[in-house]
Structure 1
Amino acid sequence: MNKKNFEAFTNLSALKKNAIQVCGQEFIDSLTKKGLYAKDSQFWTEVNKELNIPDDAYESKQAREKAERERQLLEKKAKEQAEEERLLANKKEIRIENRKGWKIVVFELSESDTFGKKFIAQSTKKPNLEKITGFSNTKGDAYSQACSFVDQFEIQQENLRIFQEHYAVMKPLYLMIIYLSSGDNHNKYLNNNNNRDKSKENFTGVSFWNGFEFKIIDTLVAEGLLEISERKTTLTMNKKGMKLARDILKKLILME
């Protein structure tokens, strides 16, 4: 760290010749007489003291450089945003389409951006969904970007809808199976009596560490309700098993 503090404060590499440059030959010779050389950390400690270099010079420089980078980045983003707003202020509609409940409007700018692009598209869907594409070279590219966003968004929404419907059915089943297949957990440090006290005061929940009991799985396989692959990597419920599962669900009023 002493070398880094020297370099941060002086903007010079931590070399003996540079130490001589800023401290003088006489001072460096005095360190050499003491057996301190540029390879030693103590050498740079003495040099830093001579120059009154703070112990946090390196950290301070790093913080200043980071702050400056962040300032420049914010300034760059502000300029880019201002330029984009200026270009968009003079746009005109050249194409309007409807797609999957979305309204897609393609605009042409009055002038191109720095990359020669002058088309953009906006996708909106009531009540409050909106997406603006990046600048494009052609109106077709802008429209394609908007369509791609709409299609991907709707696919994600459909997948979410399917999952939620599936989860609504599976949630109670998983909870029942886990609850019935689990063992009680107790806090052994509460009401401890040789770790044998399992009262409601120290009950913390149930554990489901080992998954389904293999004995039950084997029995279901033996009854012809489940089928397991030769390498035991895939477990399949056959039609007989599915019929029985449906009958159970109907009794629980989970299926019609």
Structure 2
Amino acid sequence: MDKNNFEAFTNLPALKKNAIQVCGQEFIDSLTKKGIYVKDRQFWVEVNKKLNIPDDAYESKQTREQTEREQVLLENKAKKQAENERLLANKKEVRSENRKEWKITVFELNESDIFGKNFIAECTKEPDLQEKTSFCNTKGDAYSQACDLVDHFEIQQESLRIFMEHYAVMKDLYLMIIYLSSGDQHNQYLNNIRRNSKENFTGVSCWNGFDFKIIDALEAEGLLELSSTKKNLTMNKKGMKAAINILQKINLDGVDRLLEQRKYHEEYINYKSQLDIMEEQEEEEE
């Protein structure tokens, strides 16, 4: 990092000749007399100290360059958007068709873009859906690209509809199965708290071998928490409460006995630890 700081500050490679150039031969010779050579980390520590190079020079340069790159991207994006708006300002409708409850309108531009393309298509569907193609070479290309956009959108919507129907049934089943097949989970890193108490109880945990789409949806609802590897999942207090409510309503042999064995969970779920209170305060502030 010391070499990186030197290079970032001086814009010179971390070589002895460059250290001599900016620090002087006499200073470098003084380091050599002390047994501090260019291969040593201490050499660059002393050089940086001599030049008053800050310890975060390299990180600051990286941050600055990243900011500059992002600024250039934003400026280029703004220029492109402005140019597209200029080209679209005087477009002329040349074709209009209906497809799957969508209206596809093809326009010809008065002026081509930098690639010589002067056709574009817009797809609209009530009440407020709108898609737009990129610039195209021909009227046919624009219409074909618009059809692809419409078809792709409708396929996605159909997949979403099928999944939601599936999820509506599987949600309750997953909550029940996960809850009944899990063991108690406690936060073992909280200090000065009795082991496995309601104060450090976080939920119930089990091996994650379920449909990831269902698990992701349950996690999105705040009912489950996945480990970083996604191999383990934890049903939190909110999910446990939902699972217990479902189990209490169904007529299934043995459920009452299983719930009775976990009767203490009700106290655990309703108890608010200091961590719970802090999280609630953070949510309210957001």
Same fold (TM over 0.5): yes
Listed as ranges, the matches of 1:221-232 within 5 Å are none
1:161 CA displacement: 2.7
Alpha-carbon shift at residue 165 of structure 1 (Å): 3.6
Structure 2 counterpart of 1:141, which letter? D
Which residue is equivalent to 2:102?
Answer: 102
Residue in structure 1 matched with residue 223 of structure 2 by the alignment: none
- Could you tell me which residue of structure 1 aligns to residue 120 of structure 2? 120
CA contact (8 A) 1:23 1:51 kept: yes
- Return closer, same or farther for 1:143/1:184 CA change in 2, 3 Å cut-off: closer
Q: CA RMSD in A?
A: 2.9
Instruction: Look up the SS of the partner of 1:93 in the other structure.
Output: strand
- 1:33 equivalent to 2:19? Answer no
Q: Please state whether the residue corresponding to 1:136 is helix, strand or coil.
A: coil
Judging changes above 3 Å, is the alpha-carbon distance between structure 1 residues 164 and 23 closer, same or farther for their aligned structure 2 residues?
closer
Residue 80 of structure 2: aligned partner: 80
Q: Does 1:189 align with 2:199?
A: no
TM norm structure 1: 0.69
Instruction: Tell whether the 8 Å contact from 1:104 to 1:122 is kept in structure 2 after alignment.
Output: yes
1:196 alignment partner in structure 2: none
**1:98-149 CA deviation, whole Å, 9 max, x = no partner?**
0010000000111111111111000000001000111111111110111011
How many residues were matched structurally?
199
The one-character-per-residue Cα deviations of 1:62-84 (angstroms, maximum 9, x if unpaired) are: 11111111111111111011001
Unpaired stretches in structure 1, ≥5 consecutive residues: 192-201, 212-251
Per-residue CA deviation, residues 185-236 of structure 1 (Å, 9 max, x unaligned), is: 5678348xxxxxxxxxx9x77979899xxxxxxxxxxxxxxxxxxxxxxxxx
Report if the CA contact (8 A) 1:178-1:208 is conserved.
no
SS of the residue 1:5 aligns to? helix
Normalized against structure 2, the TM-score is what? 0.62
Partners in 2 of 1:39 and 1:183 — Cα distance? Answer: 59
C-alpha displacement of 1:57: 1.2
Aligned partners of 2:208, 2:63: CA distance in 1, in Å?
48
Distance 2:64 2:38 in 1: 28
The SS at the match of 1:123 is strand
State how far apart, in whole Å, the 1-side matches of 2:205 and 2:132 are: 50
After TM superposition, the structure 1 = structure 2 runs for residues 62-81 of structure 1, keeping only pairs within 5 Å, are 62-81=62-81
User: The residue matched to 1:4 in structure 2 has which SS?
Assistant: helix
Question: How far apart in 2 are the matches of 1:9 and 1:150?
Answer: 53
Structure 2 unaligned runs (5+)?
186-194, 211-250, 252-286
User: Is 1:57 the equivalent of 2:64?
Assistant: no
Give distance in 1, aligned partners of 2:53 and 2:205: 61
Matched, 1:8 2:15: no
In the TM superposition, residue 154 of structure 1 has moved relative to its aligned partner by 1.5
Which amino acid is the alignment partner of residue 81 of structure 2?
A: Q
CA distance in 2: counterparts of 1:52 and 1:167, whole angstroms: 62
Separation in structure 2 between the aligned mates of residue 72 and residue 59 of structure 1, nearest angstrom: 20
